[in-house]
Amino acid sequence: MNAQFEHILSQVKKPARYTGGEWNSIRKDWDQTEIKTVFAFPDVYEVGMSHLGLHILYNIVNNRQDALMERVFAPWPDMAEQMREHNLPLFALESQRPIKQFDLIAFTLQYEMSFTNILYMLDLADIPLLSRDRNKDHPLVIAGGPCAFNPEPLADYIDLFAIGEGEDVINELLDLLLAEKQKRHKKDEFLRRAVEINGIYVPSLYEASYDVNGVFSGLRPTHPDVPQRITKRVIKDLDAAPFPLKPVVPITAAVHDRMMIEVFRGCTRGCRFCQAGIIYRPVREKKPETVLRQAAGLVKNTGFDEISLTSLSSSDYTPILQVIRALGKEHAGRGVNVSLPSLRADHFSMELAKEVQKVRRSSLTFAPEAGTQRLRDVINKGVTEGDLMETVGAAFKEGWQAVKLYFMIGLPTETDDDVAGIAQLARKVLKLGRQNGVSPRRLKVTASVASFIPKPHTVFQWEPQERLENLRLKQEALLSQTRERGLALNYHDADLSFIEAVFARGDRRLGSVLAKAVTLGCIFDGWSEHFDIDLWLEAFNQAGIDPAAYAYRRYNYEDPLPWDHIDAGVSKQYLILEHKRALAGTVTPDCRSGDCPGCGLCPTLEIEPFYAGGEL
């Protein structure tokens, strides 16, 4: 570390974000490695180091003899100011080399409000923002993750998108990049070859069209050998998939400062607002012995004192109780706790809760999502008030004192009674705690309320977002109805949810808005202290684009959607059927109950479902 870098670090709040050198980090010989890649997380170190996908891809690439992968995160504004003042371009942690010297920069798109940070990082790296302005002497800029399922707002900036799961496709891309590099082919030639890889979308090989009103009307390939649609990649066998047993241990506390083991991928619940439940289908479970083996490796190699069993709904993992008991038997004596992200509101969850919190007891988290059974049926949330009250009551009897409840407002068909039901349900849980003898000084019920955002590839993708003024009124109503000792209400910024909805449903025209927003200072907008709705509205105004036309539009089934060229594996016919069922308040059972709902994904991928299929 040179004197200039030491001086820069002395001027910023959290210098450990930028030093590297963590336990289990890998620094390979630069000159002896042919392909140099960097994983770019468009948020701060503490957030990015909590992302399991980073550790998985870092492990895969660095296990190759011919490639290396380093890491880079978005510098906090204080660090960016120092970097600009001292003419220091954005650098990777392992080698401290500028990321513009790498062959490939791989961004992950975890949430829409990180889009401006991608441009911010490219600018700090002294790399041209627009894909068309970069040549073979610049790094290839790729992106993947859940937001890649509507890649269009970033189409001007990203050379190619990897759609779906990345464990296999990263190696195929690196093999191609190595071959093309040895042939000294130009960037355009590489991109033409890349579209031959399943799951790869190259936006420069497609042309978007708009009607006379500027409304998106379609997307078409510009070459006959370019696919009309891009189908997501799916890993069929999670037991055989690469998994890091020696992940990098953060040098400063991460948001999720623990070991993470993905016990299964996908979800069969079928919540109609949930994008992850669609794009991560079908469900694939790890065998118990795989989970136990991975846990043993992580405990040995990291020093963490908590194992988090992660998935979209970890309590749905078939052998969950068996695995948790085995983990407790093996590791509790060392003070290692087991945790689950959230629990179902049923009796089985109470058994799980008692097992996972034998070492340390914290709060319990449940997600009823809606305040009334009518609305829970609309969104297909398979939980009743009776389920919740029975489980929470048992928890209070067992000694728990804090409960967190997650809800949404602005859901399709929502009424004032549904909103009031959120406060009523939270107060009932609080009353139940009192009735079960929890100390008033320690009893705490927290209701966390998010605003509904219509996401691509979901049953509600055709629905508009609730208007801002209505969301604010609903938040104010909930505040007035939850003023009671022991009851806390948290809610997301409705303005931020509005911008998120715009980009979730956006097309290529929004690329100009992103550029103007960054110029105006819109970075780190997932952080409340940085988000400024007025700056965003000014960016839209300068670009001549009405954001309400994206957030508040109600689509017809036959309307072209900006993400129609991305195939998430679930048919549009199935989504339409589910949308009609939602409006009728009809529940679709979990396919684990015995009936296949007919989304069509399992037969397409030749992955055996949990049960033999039936008819709708």
CATH number of the domain bearing residue 378: 3.30.750.200
Q: Which residue has the tokens 């049923």?
A: 346
DSSP state of 179: H
606 or 227, higher pLDDT: 227
Number of domains present in the structure of the chain: 3
Assess whether pLDDT exceeds 70 at residue 612: no
129 lies in the same domain as 206: yes
- Number of helices followed by number of strands (H, E) in the chain: 21, 19
573 lies in the same domain as 495: no
Q: DSSP alpha helices (H): ranges in 398-547?
A: 416-435, 468-481, 494-504, 510-520, 533-543
Q: What local confidence, expressed as pLDDT, does residue 606 receive?
A: 52
614 or 127, higher pLDDT: 127
Write the pLDDT tens digit of every residue in 47-80. Answer: 999 999 999 999 999 999 999 999 999 999 999 9
What's 459-471 look like in SS3? CCCCCCCCCHHHH
Let me know the angle formed at the C-alpha of 182 by 178 and 186, rounded to the nearest 5 degrees. Answer: 90
Q: What local confidence, expressed as pLDDT, does residue 609 receive?
A: 41
586 lies in the same domain as 481: no
Sign of the CA dihedral 542, 543, 546, 552? negative
Counting residues of the chain whose pLDDT is more than 70, the rounded percentage is: 96
Q: For residue 362, what pLDDT band results from cuts at 50, 70 and 90?
A: low
CATH no. for residue 186? 3.40.50.280
State how far the Cα of 468 lies from the Cα of 23, in Å rounded to an integer: 46
Assess whether pLDDT exceeds 90 at residue 513: yes
Residue 592's domain comprises 566-605
Let me know the angle formed at the C-alpha of 113 by 510 and 309, rounded to the nearest 5 degrees. Answer: 135
Please give the mean pLDDT across all residues of the chain: 92
Over residues 189-199, mean pLDDT: 95
Assess whether pLDDT exceeds 90 at residue 364: no
450 lies in the same domain as 594: no
Question: Which of 215, 231, 247 delimits the end of a domain?
Answer: 231
126 lies in the same domain as 12: yes
Let me know the angle formed at the C-alpha of 478 by 347 and 313, rounded to the nearest 5 degrees. Answer: 30
Element (H, E) at 191: helix 187-194
Write the pLDDT tens digit of every residue in 19-29. Answer: 999 999 999 99
Give the residue among 431, 411, 342, 428 at the shortest CA–CA distance from 370. Answer: 411
Question: Which of 486, 502, 518 delimits the end of a domain?
Answer: 502
137 or 353, higher pLDDT: 137
Assess whether pLDDT exceeds 50 at residue 614: no
Over residues 281-288, mean pLDDT: 93
Of the candidate ranges 99-108, 355-364, 552-561, the one whose mean pLDDT is the lowest: 355-364
Q: What local confidence, expressed as pLDDT, does residue 43 receive?
A: 97
- Identity of the residue numbered 598: G
Question: Which of 200, 231, 262 delimits the end of a domain?
Answer: 231
Q: What local confidence, expressed as pLDDT, does residue 358 receive?
A: 67
119 lies in the same domain as 14: yes
Distance of CA 191 to the CA centre of its chain: 26
166 lies in the same domain as 73: yes
82 lies in the same domain as 214: yes
292: phi then psi, degrees, rounded to nearest 5: -65, -40
Look at the chain and count its residues. 616
27 lies in the same domain as 173: yes
| In-domain check, residue 28 | yes
Over residues 208-216, mean pLDDT: 94
| In-domain check, residue 108 | yes
Q: For residue 605, what pLDDT band results from cuts at 50, 70 and 90?
A: low
471 lies in the same domain as 378: yes
371 lies in the same domain as 487: yes
Assess whether pLDDT exceeds 60 at residue 613: no
| In-domain check, residue 392 | yes
The DSSP secondary structure of 531-547, one letter per residue, reads: --HHHHHHHHHHHT--T
pTM over 0.85: yes
State how far the Cα of 407 lies from the Cα of 452, in Å rounded to an integer: 10
Assess whether pLDDT exceeds 60 at residue 604: no
Assess whether pLDDT exceeds 80 at residue 357: no
User: 69 by DSSP, 3-state: which?
Assistant: strand
Distance of CA 553 to the CA centre of its chain: 24
Q: What local confidence, expressed as pLDDT, does residue 583 receive?
A: 96
| In-domain check, residue 68 | yes
Contacts of 74 (CB under 8 A, 6+ apart): 41, 42, 43, 44, 117, 120, 121, 523, 524
Q: What local confidence, expressed as pLDDT, does residue 351 receive?
A: 79
Q: What local confidence, expressed as pLDDT, does residue 338 receive?
A: 87
| In-domain check, residue 168 | yes
Assess whether pLDDT exceeds 90 at residue 409: yes
43 lies in the same domain as 169: yes
Q: DSSP alpha helices (H): ranges in 281-380?
A: 288-302, 320-331, 347-356, 373-378
* CA dist 18 → 23, 72, 91, 250, 302 (Å): 15, 9, 9, 11, 20
Assess whether pLDDT exceeds 80 at residue 450: yes
